[in-house]
Amino acid sequence: MAEAGNRKAVPGTVGVCFVSLCRIFGIRDAGTRWRGGRGTARANTPVVGAASWGALHRVRPDRAGRLARVRDWEPVTTGHSSALVRRSPDGRSYAKTTPAATSAELRDERERLVWSASVGIGVPRVLDWQERDGRATLVTSALPGTPACGFPRRRADAVARRLVEFLADLHGIPVRECPFDRRLAVTVPLAAANVAAGRVDETDFDAERRGRTAAGVLADLVAGRERAEALEPADLAVCHGDFCLPNVLLDPDTLEVTGVLDVGRLGVADRHQDIALLTRSLAATDLNPAYGPGPAERVARRTGADPWRTGYYRLLDEFF
């Protein structure tokens, strides 16, 4: 699959009623988790800590007239996001603009950036934010460092070890401190909502599912949900949610992780959510030729990953 800002949800017409689809597949919690408006599913339900949630929303980004200049910034054409991304002339800021259909997703990312910074996770700083006529624009600072996908083969194992260390630190943040819920009770209904709205790109499925329909793949997801939910409580952690190589930056000299990008799916989930996408990214030599199956297997061993759950969370990722 594509990486770096990829969202498998694509614009489309609603072919199946969301509630009907949930009934067909027996998906629970659909009524309480569908909260987006304009056909957008959101997952911002606080896990715990109403006080910390209130503090998050009292934070206000800096305003320095950046939005007035964004249209003159240089377009960034790398990545696979549906958002329009621009870089400031000095390279110190980025602006991401989304249409009405996905503005809620950008709002989610802004909220997660503010929270992540408050607990010491290295993320871009929110500089400005605007919603107008259904469109949203988020302006953030640039992060120093080299993307994990940008290192030569001779450093691949060292980079992979650093990523495992970073995940251990991230997953060590107390779950009770995180106000974002990305457990399966949230994400499986979101997956169904994306299928119902025609927002899943079937041409971008992983190789083992290529040629199948989104509804058929959703049936597999639902069939495995009970088993995955039974295993979920023992491994709950604060997860990045899209932990692939292009989304992690490291100091090119020390290999210390300087920060992470694309945190729109950050939240409490089974830690296998991150392990699944990291090992898939490492193994994808067409996208990241410096790595390969060897580093991916070593990461799986170091993290004590459950192969079945690794596969299940890759399946879940097909819908986002």
**What positions carry a catalytic annotation?**
242
Q: In whole angstroms, what is the distance from residue 55 CA to residue 85 CA?
A: 29
> Which 3-state string (H, E, C) describes the chain?
CCCCCCCCECCCCCCCCHHHHHHHHCCCCHHHHCCCCCCCCCCCCCCCCHHHHHHHHHCCCCCCCHHHHHHHCEECCCCCCCCEEEECCCCCEEEEEECHHHHHHHHHHHHHHHHHHHCCCCCCCEEEEEEECCEEEEEEECCCCEEHHHCCHHHHHHHHHHHHHHHHHHHCCCHHHCCCECCHHHHHHHHHHHHHCCCECHHHCCHHHCCCCHHHHHHHHHHHHHHHHHHHHHHEEEECCCCCHHHEEECCCCCCEEEECCCCCCEEEECHHHHHHHHHHHHCCCCCCCCCHHHHHHHHHHHCCCHHHHHHHHHHHCCC
Q: In whole angstroms, what is the distance from residue 320 CA to residue 311 CA?
A: 15
* Cα of 266 vs its chain's centroid, Å: 6
* Residue pair 157/286 in contact by the 8 Å Cβ criterion: no
* Residue pair 168/239 in contact by the 8 Å Cβ criterion: no
Residues 6+ away with beta carbon under 8 Å from 13: 198
